[in-house]
């Protein structure tokens, strides 16, 4: 059985992008996470030790996203996925969506971004 923990709308200011002003000033990014894990034990025991701490996941994702300036969203999302899988043995797969709502595109748009899904090997 696979269950899902989700975190949506995590807002992080970072300096990712190809253009010089993106790396100097930075911009707001929004991250959504879906974590696949068997939650049957924690659903019976009601113990944090039997699940994954949302707070710890947010701290891990934030550090992975902010600690390095990436040119591509694909790489930034991959760093988040890799860090989460490395830090949390209970997570079997992670889906990372990175929204870049203020991307420097000469068009009117609601949102752009990437979605990556990674599974434990």
The 10 Å Cβ neighbour count of residue 37 is 21
* 48: phi then psi, degrees, rounded to nearest 5: -60, -35
Cα distance between residue 92 and residue 87, in whole Å: 11
Q: Which helix (H) or strand (E) holds 85?
A: helix 73-87
The first and second tokens of residue 95, run together, are 């889906």
Instruction: Examine the residue annotation and report whether 100 is marked as an active-site residue of this protein.
Output: yes
| Residue 88 CA, distance from chain mean position | 14
Pick the catalytic residue from 66, 86, 95, 100: 100
Among all residues, which ones are annotated catalytic? 100
């Amino acid at each position: 059985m696979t269950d899902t923990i989700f975190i949506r709308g995590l807002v992080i200011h970072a300096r990712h992008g190809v253009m010089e002003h993106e790396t100097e000033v930075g911009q707001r990014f929004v991250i959504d996470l879906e974590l696949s894990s068997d939650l049957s034990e924690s659903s019976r025991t009601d113990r944090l030790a039997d699940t994954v701490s949302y707070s710890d996941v947010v701290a891990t994702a934030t550090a992975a996203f902010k600690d390095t300036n990436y040119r591509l969203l694909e790489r930034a999302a991959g760093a988040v996925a890799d860090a989460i899988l490395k830090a949390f043995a209970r997570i079997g797969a992670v889906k990372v969506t990175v929204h870049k709502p203020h991307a420097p595109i000469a068009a009117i748009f609601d949102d752009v971004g990437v979605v990556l899904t990674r599974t434990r090997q």
